[in-house]
Structure 1
Amino acid sequence: MNVFVRIGLLCCLLFCVSVLSAQQKTLPPRPSQSSDTVRIVEILKTNRFDFRTIDSATQLQILVGDVHIRQGRTLFWADSVVYNEKTNFMQAYGNVHINDADSVNIYSQYMQYDGTKKLATFREKVKLSDGNSTLYTDEMDYDMNGKVGTYRNGGRIESKQTTLYSKEGFYYADIKDIYFVGNVKMSDPEVALASDSLLYNTSSQVATFIAPTTIKSGQSIINTREGYYDLKLKKAKFGSRSRMQDSTSTMIADDFAFDDKSGYGEAKGNVQYKDTAQGALLFANRVFFNKEKKNFLATEKPVMVVVQNKDSVFIAADTIYSGLMRDLAGMKNGYISAFDTLKGKQVINVDSILQNDSSNIMKDSSIVVTDSITIVQSKDTIAAVVEKPIIVAQKDSISNKPPPLKVKPVLVLSDSTKLPTVDSNAVAAIDSSTIKKIRPKEETDTLRFITAFRHVRIFNDSLQAVADSLFYSGVDSVFQLFHDPIAWSKGSQVSGDTIYIFTENKKPKRLYVFENGLLVQSVKESSSFFNQIKGRTINGYFINGELDFVKAKGTAESIYYAQDDDSAFVGMNRTTADMIDMYFKERSPQKVKFTSSVKGTTFPIRQLPEDQKKLSNFQWLENKRPKNKLELFL
C-alpha cells in the first residue's frame, strides 16, 4: 500500500476516534491557549455540546440545556450558550443567571460576556440582587473586575419598603452603593423624594444628597442640595441653606439635623423661621425644634418678630422658646419653671397679687369732676382738649396750696374722658379652661405662646421694653415681663417688679405694673424735671399707642410740674395718697386726682429742694432703651 495512502488512513482513523471520544464525554476539554485561571472559562455542565468552525478565526462551542459555566469565582447559568474559545467571548440565552463571588446575583434573558475583559451586558428583564435590595432594568452593563453595574435607560431599586427610580444608575457591589442620575424618585411609607442625583447604600439604607433634592416627610417638605437621610433609623442631616416647610411654617438654615421618629431636630447657622398662621418670624443662629409639636427653643442671638402691617413687635433675648397654646396647660409647674434654666431663683406668684388688687380696673363711675372745673362750649361743639392741668383732691386737703396760676385752669370734657371697662380676669394667667372659652379648638391648635429669658429686649414703634424674662400669649396678646422690667412709651418710662402689657392689633392698649411700680416722664429734654407717679400697682391705658390715663394705688406718690399758658414752669407738687389718677394729652399730664389720705406740698419753681425732686428708687434709664429694631440683632 502506498505510504501516502497509509498515512491518510491513519489520520482518518485518529479523527474518527477523537470525534467518538468527544461525543461520549459530558464536558468539553479546557482551552489550552492560556494558563491564566482568571481568564479561563470552564464549562461545568450542559445537556448537549456542538463544536463548529466558521473560519480560521471563529471556532464556536454551542452548549444547549442546563448550561453551567465558571470563570474564577463567577458562576454562569443559562438555557443555551455560544462560546468562542479563541476570542473568549460568550453569548447566553434564556434564564441567564450569574453569581459573582457569592455576593451579587444577576438575572436576565440575554447576556453578552467578554471573558478577557470580564465585561457583561445584560438585556431583557434584568434583575440584580445583593441580599439587601434588588435592581430592575431592561439593559445593564456589569464589570466583573470592578464589580460595577451600569444602566442608562431607566431602572429601579427595591429595598424592603423603599423604591428608588432613576434614568441612569451605577451600582458598586463591593460597597453596596448606587449612584442614581437623572429624574431620581424615591418612595417609602414615610418619605418621598425627588432629585437629579442621589447616592444610596443598600446595606445601611442611607440616601446621600449631592444635588437639589425635594423630600416629603409627613406634612413637611424639605428642600436641600447636600446631606443624607437614614431610611432605617429615620434620621437626617442637611446642609447648604436647606429649607423645611409645612402648611403653617417655614424654616431655613445653613444646617439641619433631625429625627423623624421623635420629631426633634436642630437647625444651625443664620436660622430663619416663619409661622404663617400666626404672623411670627424668628431669626437665630441655633434652634432646637419639634416639627410634630411645632415648638422650638432658639439660642445664639435669637430675635422673634410678632408681625403686623406697619408696626411689628421685635423680641430679643438670650433664649426664646415658643410652642402652641394647646400644649401650655400640660406643662408641669407652669411655663416659668418649665423653661427657665436659672436654678434656685424665686419667681413671683402673680396670680395672688392680681386677685388681691381691687383697683386694677378703672371704671367710668370713678371719674369725678369738681365744681371748680369749667366746661367751655364753642359753636355747639365740645372740644376734646384739656387745655390746662388741674389737681383734684378728695377727702383730705393738700397741706400747702399751690401758688395761683396766671390763667384759670379750664378742662374741656368729651366722651374721650371715659375709660373702657375691662374684666378683671383679663390680667389673670391663662389656663386651659380660659383658652377653651376664648378660642375654639382649631384656633388653639395654631395660636402660639412665647417665653424669653435673660436680657429680654422689646422694640415697637409705640413701645419699647427690657426685662430678665418674658411670656407672651397668642390668646390675649399680653406681654408679661418679669424681674426688674422697664417699659418706655414715647417720653414715659415705667418700671416695677412685674409688668403686663396688653396689646390690641399689636399696639399697647393697657399696661399693668405690680409691686414697686414707678412711672417717670421727662418734662423737657433739656431740663432735669421729671413727672413721676409711684404705687404698689400702676394701671396705664393707651389710645392709638399714646398714654392716656394712669392710676397708681397703694401708698401712691407723685411729683408733678405745673406750667402756665406760656408753658413756663411755675411750681412742683409732691403728694402722697392711697390712689392717684393722672390724665394725659399729647404725652403731657393734664389732670391729677388724689384719693384718700392725701398729703402734699407745692414748691415754687425757683425754690425746689434737690432732695424733693425725685421719688425713692427714681432712675432715668434711657440708656437701656432699645433705639431701633436693628439694635436687637447685634
Structure 2
Amino acid sequence: MKNQKYVFVRVGFILSVFLLLLNVVSAQKKTAPPRPSQTSDTVRVVQIKKTNTFYYKTIDSVTQLQILSGNVEVWQGGTKFFADSVVYNEKTNYMQAYGNVHINESDSVNIYSQYLQYDGTKKLATFRDKVKLSDGNSTLYTDEMDYDMNGKVGSYKDGGRIESKQTTLYSKQGFYYADIKDVYFIGNVKMSDPEVALASDSLLYNTSSQVATFIAPTTIKSGNSIINTREGYYDLKFKKAKFGARSRMQDSTSTMIADDFAFDDKTGYGEAKGNVQYKDTAQGALLFSNRVFFNKTNKNFLATEKPVMVVVQNKDSIYIAADTIYSGLMKDLAQFKDGYIRAFDTVKGTKLLKVDSLISKDSSQQLQQDIAVTDSIAPVSVKDSVVAPVVTAKPILKKDSIVDNKPPPLKTKPTLVRSDSSNLLPKDSNAVAIADTVFQRKRSKAETDTLRFITAFRHVRIYNDSLQAVADSLFYSGVDSVFQLFHDPIAWSKGSQITGDTIYIFTENKKPKRMYVFENGMLVQSVKENAEFFNQIKGRTINGFFVDGELNYVNAKGTAESIYYAQDDDSAYIGMNRTTADMIDMFFKKRSPQKVKYTSSVKGTTYPIRQLPAEQKKLQNFKWLESKRPKNKLELFL
C-alpha cells in the first residue's frame, strides 16, 4: 500500500510538471490553449488565436476572465478581432477590447475604434471612441456605433459622417447595411460634393453605386440650380437624377415645377412631365405644358402635350398655345441650321422638328428687304405716302380732292383725300418716331444674348386683350418684340380681322404697336352684323399701326382695293365706296374709318346704301373667320 501510494504521488508530480511545461511552451508560441468548450461551436464561440500575454483572473466562484494583451487576435466564424488587449468571459461569451480595435468581417468590412464591447452569443458589438467603418467604397466615421454581426447592420445615434471619394454625408442618426452597401441617414442630413450639395431630414445612400435616394423633403444645390423634392434619386457617379412628387427646380433667373423630373447634370439635358410650370423671371415668361425637354445650362426648352407660353406683363399678358413650343436664348439661335432644331437631338426618342418656314422666302430676310424698299413708314415725300398714323380733329377737305363717284357730302368723316394734299400730316409723325425708337433700336450683344426667342408649331393660337391670332407656325424674338406668323395666319384686333400669307406683329410693352402683312394682305371689319356690312382693305402688303391697342392707321400697297361704308352724323349707313389704287391709306377712330387716301391709278365707285349690288359688297377672296378667333385665354389650355 505504501509503495502504491508513492507511485500515485510520483505520477501526479510528473503530470504537474508536464502541464507546467506545456503552458510555458504555449506561452512561448504566443498562442492560448484551446478550451474544450471553444471547439464545440465555431460560429458562436470566440476563439483566441494569438496574443503576447495570456492569463486567467478569477473574480468570484462563477466568474473567470481570460486576460489577453499585446497583438491580440480573436476569431468568431469568419470575423476577425484585433486589439491591444482583450478581456474575455468564456462563460457568458462576452468580450471587451481596448486600444487600436480592428474587426475584419469576411474580408469586406473593416471596423476600427479604441474600445469594443462584444456579445459573442448575440453577435452584437458596440464601438466607442474614434469609430471608423470601411467597406472599400466609403468610410463611416462616428464616436459610437452598434454593429449587429448577424444582420451586418451598423447604427449610430449621436452624429456620424460617410466619406465616399469626393462625397461626404452627415446625419444625426444612421444605419449602415453592409450586405447591400446602403446607409439610411436620419435627422439633419447634409451632403457635400464638388458639384452637388444636399440637405434633408432622411436619405438613403448606396456606397457602391453612389446613388442617393430621397424619402423626405430634400433641398439639392447643383451648379446654379436649387432643387426641392421629397421623392427620387441622384446618381453622384454619373450625375443623373430623377425626382417625383411635384418637385421644383430653380436658379437665379427661372423656376420649373413638375410632377416628375429626369435630367443629366453633365450635359444639362432633362425632361419634366406632368403639369409642368416654367417661369423665366428675367424675361417675364411663363410656360405650362404636360411634357418639357430642357437644358439647364443653355436655358432652352422644347414643350409638347398642350403647351401654353405666356409673355407676362402687368395688365395684358400675351398667351401662346401650339402643338409644340421651343424657346431659347438669342445667342443660341445659330443652332437653327438646314431647317432643323438641333438643340435636343441628343435626347433619345425626340423627333427633330422642321422649321423651314423660318428660313423661307417670306421670313425675316424678305421682311427686311420689303421694309427697306417699300415700307410706307420709311422717310419719303408726302406726295408718295402718308408718313404717320395721326388723325386730325377736323379732317381737311378740298374741292379738287374728291375722287369721282364720291359718296354724298357728310357733316362728319370719312373724307377722301388725294395724294397731292400738302398739309395732310406733320413730318415728325408717330410712325417715324416708332420706327426710330422701337423697331430699329440697336441692343448690345450682352443684352441680346440674355433675351429669349420663341418658336411654335402647328395650330398656333395667340390671345391678348388687344389682339388675337392663329397660324400654323410662329417665331418671336425678344430683341425686337416681333411675332412672326406663317402659313395662313389670321390676326384680330378689336373689330378688325387681318389675313395674309405672312404676318409680322411688332409689340411695345407687350401691346401691338405695328402690324406688317405681306403677300395677299386683307383687313376686314364687321360694321353691321345683321346686314353683313364689312369695311375691307386689300393689297400685296399691308402696314397697320395701333394706338393703345386700337387699330389707328392702315397702309395697303400693290393693286390695293378698299370697301368702306359711309355714315352720317347719326351713325346711319348712307353708302358704300369701292375703290382701287396703287396704294391706299386708311385712318380709324373708334374702330371706324375716318379718313382714306388713295395714291396713283385711282378708280372708285360709290353706291347708295339701298342700291348695293350683292356681288360688289365683298372683295375677292373675302373670308370672315370669326369662328377661329380665340375668345379667351382659358380656351388655350383646353
**TM-score w.r.t. structure 2 length?**
0.89
- In 2 relative to 1, CA 560–419 (structure 1 residues): closer, same or farther, beyond 3 Å? same
The Cα shift of 1:390 comes to: 7.4
Q: Which SS does the other structure have where 1:519 is aligned?
A: strand
Q: Judge conservation of contact 2:414–2:566 (CA < 8 Å) in 1.
A: no
- Is 2:360 the partner of 1:347? yes
Match of 1:519 among 513, 518, 523: 523
Q: Which SS does the other structure have where 2:431 is aligned?
A: coil
Give the structure 1 partner of residue 90 of structure 2: 85
User: Which amino acid letter does the alignment assign opposite residue 420 of structure 1?
Assistant: A
Give the structure 2 partner of residue 361 of structure 1: 376
Q: Distance in 2 between matches of 1:415 and 1:353?
A: 27
The Cα shift of 1:407 comes to: 3.7
The Cα shift of 1:402 comes to: 3.4
Q: Distance in 2 between matches of 1:460 and 1:397?
A: 39
Task: Spell out, residue by residue over 1:479-498, the C-alpha distance to the aligned partner (whole angstroms, 9 max, x if none).
Answer: 11111110000000000011
User: Which amino acid letter does the alignment assign opposite residue 554 of structure 1?
Assistant: G
Q: Judge conservation of contact 1:332–1:338 (CA < 8 Å) in 2.
A: no
The Cα shift of 1:347 comes to: 3.3
- In 2 relative to 1, CA 321–196 (structure 1 residues): closer, same or farther, beyond 3 Å? same
- Is 2:108 the partner of 1:98? no
Give the structure 1 partner of residue 538 of structure 2: 534
The Cα shift of 1:113 comes to: 0.7
Q: Distance in 2 between matches of 1:438 and 1:145?
A: 74
Give the structure 1 partner of residue 24 of structure 2: 23
- In 2 relative to 1, CA 425–329 (structure 1 residues): closer, same or farther, beyond 3 Å? farther
- In 2 relative to 1, CA 491–391 (structure 1 residues): closer, same or farther, beyond 3 Å? farther
The Cα shift of 1:584 comes to: 0.3
The Cα shift of 1:440 comes to: 2.3
Q: Distance in 2 between matches of 1:79 and 1:421?
A: 94
Match of 1:458 among 449, 458, 462: 462
The Cα shift of 1:413 comes to: 8.4
Match of 1:268 among 270, 273, 276: 273
Q: Distance in 1 between matches of 2:413 and 2:134?
A: 98
Structure 2 stretches lacking a partner, 5+ long? 345-351, 385-390, 416-422
The Cα shift of 1:609 comes to: 1.4
Give the stretch that moved more between structures: 156-165 or 35-44: 35-44
- In 2 relative to 1, CA 417–594 (structure 1 residues): closer, same or farther, beyond 3 Å? farther
Q: Which SS does the other structure have where 1:131 is aligned?
A: coil
Match of 1:617 among 612, 615, 621: 621
Give the structure 2 partner of residue 109 of structure 1: 114
Give the structure 2 partner of residue 473 of structure 1: 477
Q: Distance in 1 between matches of 2:502 and 2:362?
A: 10
The Cα shift of 1:100 comes to: 0.3
User: Which amino acid letter does the alignment assign opposite residue 353 of structure 2?
Assistant: T
Q: Distance in 2 between matches of 1:442 and 1:354?
A: 23
Match of 2:283 among 249, 260, 278: 278
The Cα shift of 1:525 comes to: 3.3
Report matched runs for 1:365-404 at 5 Å. 385=393, 398=404, 401-404=405-408
Q: Distance in 2 between matches of 1:586 and 1:534?
A: 21
Match of 2:217 among 209, 212, 215: 212
Q: Which SS does the other structure have where 1:298 is aligned?
A: strand
User: Which amino acid letter does the alignment assign opposite residue 341 of structure 1?
Assistant: L
The Cα shift of 1:359 comes to: 3.1
Report matched runs for 1:302-341 at 5 Å. 302-333=307-338, 341=353
Q: Distance in 2 between matches of 1:153 and 1:337?
A: 52
Q: Distance in 2 between matches of 1:275 and 1:344?
A: 27
Match of 2:189 among 176, 180, 184: 184
Give the structure 2 partner of residue 569 of structure 1: 573
- Is 2:202 the partner of 1:197? yes
Give the structure 2 partner of residue 379 of structure 1: none
User: Which amino acid letter does the alignment assign opposite residue 47 of structure 2?
Assistant: E
| Aligned residue pairs, count | 611
User: Which amino acid letter does the alignment assign opposite residue 69 of structure 1?
Assistant: V
Give the structure 2 partner of residue 380 of structure 1: none
Q: Distance in 2 between matches of 1:487 and 1:164?
A: 58
- In 2 relative to 1, CA 548–57 (structure 1 residues): closer, same or farther, beyond 3 Å? same
Give the structure 2 partner of residue 296 of structure 1: 301
Task: Spell out, residue by residue over 1:179-231, the C-alpha distance to the aligned partner (whole angstroms, 9 max, x if none).
Answer: 01111111111111111111110100000011111111111111111100000
Q: Distance in 2 between matches of 1:102 and 1:47?
A: 24
- Is 2:173 the partner of 1:168? yes
Q: Judge conservation of contact 1:386–1:413 (CA < 8 Å) in 2.
A: no
User: Which amino acid letter does the alignment assign opposite residue 122 of structure 1?
Assistant: F
Q: Judge conservation of contact 1:362–1:419 (CA < 8 Å) in 2.
A: no
Q: Which SS does the other structure have where 2:36 is aligned?
A: coil
User: Which amino acid letter does the alignment assign opposite residue 488 of structure 1?
Assistant: W
Q: Judge conservation of contact 1:31–1:85 (CA < 8 Å) in 2.
A: no
The Cα shift of 1:118 comes to: 0.6
Match of 2:504 among 500, 505, 510: 500
Q: Distance in 2 between matches of 1:403 and 1:539?
A: 26
Give the structure 2 partner of residue 431 of structure 1: none
- In 2 relative to 1, CA 393–548 (structure 1 residues): closer, same or farther, beyond 3 Å? farther
Match of 1:250 among 247, 255, 261: 255
Q: Judge conservation of contact 1:193–1:214 (CA < 8 Å) in 2.
A: yes
Structure 1 stretches lacking a partner, 5+ long? 370-382, 429-433
Q: Judge conservation of contact 1:320–1:450 (CA < 8 Å) in 2.
A: yes
Q: Judge conservation of contact 2:452–2:477 (CA < 8 Å) in 1.
A: yes
The Cα shift of 1:13 comes to: 7.0
User: Which amino acid letter does the alignment assign opposite residue 349 of structure 1?
Assistant: D
Task: Spell out, residue by residue over 1:271-318, the C-alpha distance to the aligned partner (whole angstroms, 9 max, x if none).
Answer: 111111111111111111110010111111111111111111111111
Give the structure 2 partner of residue 76 of structure 1: 81
User: Which amino acid letter does the alignment assign opposite residue 23 of structure 2?
Assistant: A
